[in-house]
Amino acid sequence: MSGILVVLEQWEGRVRRVGLEACATAVRLGHGPVSAVAFGAGAEAVAEAVGGLGVEELLVLPDTPFDRYSSDAFAEAVAEIVRQGEPSLVLFGATAFGKDLAPRVSGLLKAGLASDVTGIDPDGDDVAITRPVYAGKALQRVRIVGTPKLVSLRPNVQPVGAGGGPVARVSRPAVEVGAPRAVVTGTERNDETVELTEASRIVSGGRGMKASENFRLLDELAAVLGAAVGSSRPVADEGWVPHSYHVGQTGKVVSPDLYVAVGISGAIQHVAGISNSKCIVAINNDPDAPIFKVANYGVVGDLFQVVPALTAALKAHLDAS
Amino acid sequence: MKIAVLVKQVPDTATRIQLASDGSGINTAGIKWVLNPYDEFAIEEALKLRDQHSGEVVLVSFGPARVEEAIRQGLAMGADRAIWVSDDGVADVDYLGRAQILVAALSQEADWDLVLVGKQAVDDDAAQTGPLVAALLDWPQAMVVLGLTVDAAGRRITATRELEGATETVELTLPAVLGAQRGLNVPRYPTLPNIMKAKRKEVRHTSAADLGLDGAQLTADRRVVVEGYQLPPPRPEPKVLTGDPAEAAATLVKLLHNEAQIL
Ligand SMILES: Cc1cc2nc3c(=O)[nH]c(=O)nc-3n(C[C@H](O)[C@H](O)[C@H](O)COP(=O)(O)OP(=O)(O)OC[C@H]3O[C@@H](n4cnc5c(N)ncnc54)[C@H](O)[C@@H]3O)c2cc1C
Ligand SMILES: Nc1ncnc2c1ncn2[C@@H]1O[C@H](COP(=O)(O)O)[C@@H](O)[C@H]1O
């Protein structure tokens, strides 16, 4: 194998977007051939998607025990594939799956892992890596010593680009693993809501929303924008929205193209979770609210007037274009 | 059940991070140190399990002398005792080295049923220690846990895990390592009598050398080396609109379209 191995997360033939970001990154690094590994039923189905990005070989482990996630068996399998193929670099997505799996592989192989990486570039035979620490209040430059080097990539940061290459060659590696001791027995997928960490646009509400029912205004704005809805922490703590909406240092760290903060003051813990956003818009009736210091654009005004006006203006813009 | 909770002391989340002048680290002057917020969920869960199944809760922390404050905080919540592994002679270790030290501390005692950690420490944001410790101990693990139940015999755990856009149920055999996520429980506040009691609870002091590990070797064996820190690029001057909401909204849409090129 040598080259770079990408560990994909897939279900029913759908590969999580960060997996495609990892494939594109691996090809961009130019450190030899890129292969990918996918587990579970439907694993072969991702051959076309990853082949188009320049992945040459797709290793699939569709059968028991790999039809259900288990951190121990999956980690053993990845470690075994790495021992057989000796890639210099192994890329994961820093999702719940990758964050569970990658450090376990690191422990099995005694190989260094840089997690939740936002910057990765070739540096001769090596890679130069940056990763946010203190929830993005600082960036850390790290070097991984020895091989393989393990890296998990923060979702929504690396570009994917257009495909068009051939379908990856599919093969089934022979790996033996022990009986899994942590086995997934059920998965409940939320309705078709866009996941915040993968969303390219987010509309978030804070305490300024005043009550749960007022989030309807944000739902309407989000629908026009094609955005996901998030919140500050106190709003989720109050139960106005589910806990999964909570953005910030102790919630989800997001990196959308557009983040609209509505009735959010801009506390340091909230800002920590959004500072990777390409464009931040703040709507707040307090001109001195700290959120305006990190925003690209701000509207000072009553959100109960500004948000409906913005929804209307966006509709008019979209109808005209 | 005999439960260990690994606890880390971190800068308070309200801290404004400043870099040391040579960029080799952060400027720690004036920082308020607290128990990692996710470790509070881990401790709370351990206390609840102890109350249901009896047993004891032992905190384990690796770090400089100041971590005793975080340890006392956990003891004041109700943990029974603690092990503090000092960082004497351990100048600079990576995640693997740190996990080895924590595993060596755990291995001084037998009969652990469960090790609880926070899903992530809010300083290095690594989210590595739980799975690393589990791998080194060869125990199963589940991270980002939102809920858990232990069977009556105390041999199996059913945990629910938060995924992106989904929740997952995992069955694990014990002993195991679990990583606590916000939402798992509501951590209790230490009461004044418990804060007083915590002062008398046992904090056993050990070091990497006591545990048979060579600090210099651990540093030499680092697989992940931090080369330096920098601050994120500053954000551009904001454009702030005031006045009539409808006009401001229309102007904003134009700016997002023409200038930011997002629409
Ligand atoms: C350990 C720790 C971790 C934390 N982690 C997080 C985290 O991850 N995420 C997070 O968000 N917070 C976090 N917090 C909480 C954080 O410190 C703030 O308390 C919180 O972000 C404030 O939420 P908010 O902006 O919604 O509310 P507020 O600070 O109350 O702000 C409400 C804003 O709405 C504006 N407003 C009110 N009415 C209107 C109106 N009619 N029109 C327009 N604007 C209006 C006000 O001017 C104000 O700026 C954490 C705190 C701690 C201690
Ligand atoms: N030095 C340490 N001492 C004890 N526990 C730690 C230490 N570092 C990390 N941990 C535990 O591992 C979790 C995840 O930390 P990290 O891998 O640094 O993100 C923390 O929430 C703690 O439970």
**What are the structure tokens assigned to A117, written together?**
């990486």
Question: Would you say the CB of residue B120 lies under 6 angstroms from ligand 2?
Answer: yes
- Of the candidates B144, B167, B227, the beta carbon closest to that of A142 is on B227
Give tens-digit pLDDT for B5-35: 999 999 999 999 999 999 899 999 999 999 9
Residue A65 preceded by cis peptide, ω within 30? yes
Do the Cβ atoms of B163 and A95 come within 8 Å?
Answer: yes
| pLDDT value at B247 more than 90 | yes
From the CB of A270, is ligand 1 less than 6 Å away? yes
pLDDT, position A193: 72
State residue A267's pLDDT score. Answer: 97
* Mean pLDDT computed over B69-95: 96
Smallest CA–CA distance, residue A197 to chain B, in Å, is 8
Ligand nearest to the CA of B36: 2
Q: Which of A70, A103, A189 is closest, CB to CB, to B131?
A: A103
Residue closest to A10 by CA, chosen among A54, A42, A56: A42
List Cβ neighbours of B167 (8 Å cut-off, separation of 6 or more).
A187, A188, B146, B160, B161
Tell how far the Cα of B120 is from the centroid of ligand 2, in angstroms: 7
CB pairs under 8 A between A and B: 289
Average pLDDT over every residue of B122-131: 97
Alpha-carbon gap, residue B1 to B247, rounded angstroms? 64
For ligand 2, say whether the CB of B127 is within 6 Å of any of its atoms. Answer: yes
Residue A138 and residue B165: Cβ atoms within 8 Å? Answer: no
Binding site membership of A11 for ligand 1 (Cβ less than 6 Å): no
- Cβ-based contacts of A281 with chain B (< 8 Å): 252, 256
Q: Is the dihedral of CA A235, A236, A242, A244 positive or negative?
A: positive
* Ligand 2 touching residue B94 (CB < 6 A): no
Angle, helix A71-85 to helix A96-109, in steps of 10 degrees: 60
pLDDT, tens digit (0-9, with 9 covering 90-100), for B91-116: 899 999 999 999 999 999 999 999 99
Percent of chain B at pLDDT above 70?
100
In chain A, which stretches have pLDDT less than 50?
Answer: none
**What are the phi and psi torsion angles at A52 (to 5°)?**
-60, -25
In chain A, which residues have their Cβ closer than 8 Å to the Cβ of B161? 96, 100
User: Which of B142, B120, B117, B185 has the alpha carbon at shortest distance from A249?
Assistant: B120
Q: Do domains A4-171 and A196-320 have the same CATH topology?
A: yes
Q: Which atom of ligand 2 is nearest to the CA of B117?
A: 23
Give tens-digit pLDDT for B181-234. 999 999 999 999 999 999 999 999 999 999 999 999 999 999 999 999 999 988
Q: What is the full DSSP assignment across chain B? A: -EEEEE--EEE-TTPPP-B-TTSSSB--TTPPEEE-HHHHHHHHHHHHHHHHH--EEEEEEEESTTHHHHHHHHHHHT--EEEEEE-TT-----HHHHHHHHHHHHTTS----EEEEES--TTT----HHHHHHHHHT--EEEEEEEEEE-TTSSEEEEEEEETTEEEEEEEESSEEEEE-TTS--PPPPPHHHHHHHTTS-EEEEETTTTT--HHHHHHT-SEEEEEEEPPPPPPPPEEE-S-HHHHHHHHHHIIIIIS---
Amino acid identity, position B246 = A
CB-based contact A141 B228, cutoff 8 Å = yes
- Chain B, nearest residue to A187 by Cα: B168
Quick check: helix, strand or coil at residue A307?
helix
CATH fit for domain A196-320, picks 3.40.50.300, 2.40.160.210, 3.40.50.880, 3.40.50.1220: 3.40.50.1220
Give distance in angstroms: CA of B88 to centre of ligand 2: 18
Rounded Cα gap, residues B60 and B62, in angstroms: 7
For residue A303, the surrounding DSSP H or E stretch is helix A303-320
- Strand partners of residue B177: B115, B141
Q: How many alpha carbons fall within 13 Å on the CB side of residue B90?
A: 28
Residue A189: predicted pLDDT: 86
Q: Could you give the domains of chain B?
A: 2-220 (3.40.50.620), 233-263 (no CATH)
| Chain A closest-CA separation from residue B200 CA (Å) | 32
CATH H-level superfamily of A4-171 = HUPs (3.40.50.620)
Ligand nearest to the backbone CA of B64: 2
Average pLDDT over residues B135-150: 97
pLDDT average, residue stretch B154-172: 94
The answer to whether A299 and A282 have CB atoms below 8 angstroms apart is: yes
Give A246's DSSP letter: B
**Ligand 1 atom index nearest CA of A235:** 26
Domain boundary assignment for chain A: 4-171, 196-320
- Do residues A4 and A26 make contact, with C-beta atoms less than 8 angstroms apart? yes
Task: Measure the CA–CA gap between B146 and A72, rounded to whole angstroms.
Answer: 20
- What ipTM did this prediction achieve? 0.96
pLDDT at A192: 63
From the list B157, B125, B131, B155, the residue with the least C-alpha distance to B143 is B131
User: Which residues of chain A are within 8 Å of residue B224 when distances are taken between CB atoms?
Assistant: 112-114, 142-145
DSSP three-state, residue A67: coil
